[in-house]
Amino acid sequence: MGTVYRALDSVLERTVAIKMLNRGLPDAELPEIQARFVREAKSAGRLNHPNIVTIYDVGMVGEVAYIAMEYLEGQSLQQLMKSRAALPFEKVADIVAQVAEGLDYAGRFGIVHRDIKPANIMVSPAGLATITDFGVARLPSSSMTDAGTLLGSPKYVAPEQVREEPVDPRADIFSLGVVLYEMLVGKTPFEEPGLDVLSLLDRIVEQPVAPVTRQRPEIPAALDAILERALAKDPAQRFQRAGELARRLRQLSLPAGSAPLDFDAEPSGEIPDAQASLSKLLADLAAFSRREPSLEAANELSMRLRKAFHYLEELVRRVIHANPPFTVKLDVIYLGALPAADMSNGHVACATRKVGDAEVVDCVKLTYRMKSSRKARIVLNRSKAGVLKRHLDLAKIKFDSREVTDDAGAVRLEAFLIEVDLAASATLRGNYERQTVEIACENVGVLGPANYRLDAADVDDAIWEFGQLLFGQPSRFAGLRLPAAVE
């Protein structure tokens, strides 16, 4: 469908990948396919997620449609699976969970990949999984070659794609479930030797999936239930968001005792002793509603905080512990920004407490360190120097300063030499009475303290923007900052 070339962006001096749509498509359909190729690639270009390839440019050169995208080091999952023995379960769960998190993000924008398969998943030497080929995947599913093969990979399509029904992000969940099964067993769940395409598609629509533990008894038994749900024929019976699949896999692969809360915990349905009087029951419920938020609301906010915890865990694992390290800049008054500093020593902790009978997440705390061998230098007048000193002292940044005199010996300026070696932290605390999350930051995105407040319903969306804030990039999260007078 497309040919990929490695190229050099001469303006930004970076290596990129250029994908060009092949001309070997039917002439009658080529204009429509090219237009959709460009249109859908532009849609995918809105996505900014560590598990989705970054698209830089898309367009037409003459009659050739192209996409310029991030060049990815490593190999495809397909190559990885062919080059070595069966991957350990923990590695499989991590790769699939990463892909699911990328798909969950894409689904927030209503974008469906439609061609999730091992060849469209790149895995870096450090283990980062990246989804590719969003543009090509959106080509019309009704287009078929003379051999009757679906445009894409028939082994991984969802039943609703076979039935030519409308698809939504749940179709990608099915395809990813097929990939997960293949990584564990060595073949997709519906294929058999000598099976033709039409028979394969019939099996995808009708045949149930055998439990994977029959062939891999050492795998946790709970994985069978996860796969059964991911591969449900009816989209309504599947995980409704890919993030749910990611959470289940991460929970399954966590060491014992490291996940005290169930991701999908439901409010307790226990009913008081039937012999208790109705009047006492109503009185207890009324008193509880005045003292505590509803248990359902508490669990919902707790789940959102737990998701934020795992998001920050991944941020630490993939970004702050990366080698070579990522760098970040902090905005500083008068300076503009400190020199780019390497990020290190990242850690995320999660604390719980009781709300009524429920154990909920109390707070999530992220800490890391930023250090640069370069020092910042600036010369300011006396009044501005005093303001900068207060900011630096507040952030606990070391600096040297000296007075600068003019020819007459009068002190008019002050020169600064500022070290870049400081700690940063962000604490997300759940307010279960107000159903909000209070976020207290120190040296995150900007120098010094900054406070934010989110409604519970906004946490899922806003937490994705937090990473942009951390790196000092434009982010709507920054607009949530509380005024200084409130801090």
**Per residue of the chain (487 residues), what is the pLDDT tens digit?**
568 888 888 777 788 888 887 666 666 667 777 777 776 677 667 677 778 888 888 877 777 778 888 888 888 999 988 876 678 888 899 899 989 988 987 877 678 888 899 999 999 887 888 998 875 444 333 333 323 334 457 899 999 999 988 888 899 999 999 999 999 998 999 988 888 888 999 999 999 998 999 988 888 889 999 999 999 999 999 998 888 898 888 877 654 433 333 333 222 233 233 223 333 433 443 343 334 455 566 778 888 898 888 888 877 877 777 777 777 877 777 777 788 888 888 999 989 988 777 788 899 999 999 999 888 888 888 888 888 898 888 888 899 999 888 777 788 788 999 999 999 999 999 998 899 999 999 988 878 888 999 998 888 778 877 877 777 666 677 777 887 643 3
| Residue 433: inside a domain | yes
Q: Are residues 170 and 83 in the same domain?
A: yes
The pLDDT of residue 253: 62
Given 236, 253, 270, the domain boundary residue is 253
If DSSP codes are grouped into helix, strand and coil, which group holds residue 442? strand
| Residue 149: inside a domain | yes
State the sign of the Cα–Cα–Cα–Cα dihedral 302, 304, 310, 311.
negative
pLDDT in tens, 381-434: 888 888 889 888 888 889 999 988 877 778 878 899 999 999 999 999 999 889
Q: Are residues 326 and 440 in the same domain?
A: yes
Q: Are residues 217 and 308 in the same domain?
A: no
Say how far apart CA 303 and CA 301 lie, in whole Å: 5
Q: Are residues 337 and 229 in the same domain?
A: no
Q: Are residues 365 and 230 in the same domain?
A: no
Q: Are residues 120 and 245 in the same domain?
A: yes
Q: Which of 94, 104, 115, 133 is catalytic?
A: 115
| Residue 265: inside a domain | no
Q: Are residues 369 and 448 in the same domain?
A: yes
Q: Is 115 a catalytic site residue? A: yes
| Of residues 138, 135, 170, 132, the one with CA closest to residue 51 | 132
| Total structural domains within the chain | 2
Q: Are residues 306 and 378 in the same domain?
A: yes
CATH number for position 197? 1.10.510.10
Say how far apart CA 136 and CA 142 lie, in whole Å: 14
pTM of the model: 0.53
Q: Are residues 90 and 161 in the same domain?
A: yes
The amino acid that residue 83 corresponds to is S
| Residue 393: inside a domain | yes
| Residue 381: inside a domain | yes
Note down the domain range covering 473. 296-480
Q: Are residues 201 and 313 in the same domain?
A: no
Given 253, 287, 314, the domain boundary residue is 253
Q: Are residues 343 and 465 in the same domain?
A: yes
Given 199, 227, 253, the domain boundary residue is 253
